Amino acid sequence: MLFTDPELRPVIADWPTLVPRFLSSFRRDYARADGDPAIGILMKELSAHSPEFCQWWRRHEVDAPCQSVRSISMAWARSAVSTPA
């Protein structure tokens, strides 16, 4: 999960710009899931583990579904791959 796994931060290029946009798209989906107990549990978990989630969620921004190109860093994958000696 973007907000609960710190190892994902370096993977998302331009984290401070893109992740709030992801969240604003999620807000649209959240509104559609009103009353779903699973979404309530998810919101409590995110709120408990991520100050950034809380900060950005309070903005009440809503965007259209994500349709732009996303950039990710694969530097973490290079260190995870072993090469023969």
Summarised one tens digit per residue, pLDDT across range 6-39 is 888 887 778 788 888 888 888 888 888 878 888 8
pLDDT of amino acid 43: 86
Cα first-last separation, the chain? 35
The pTM of this model reads: 0.63
State the Cα torsion 1-7-52-70 to the nearest 10°. -70
pLDDT of amino acid 5: 84
> Using CA atoms, how far apart are residues 41 and 59, in angstroms rounded to an integer?
20
Reduce the DSSP state of residue 59 to 3 states and report it. coil
**Residues 12, 2, 34, CA angle at the centre, nearest 5°?**
135
Summarised one tens digit per residue, pLDDT across range 31-68 is 888 788 888 898 899 999 889 889 988 887 777 665 65
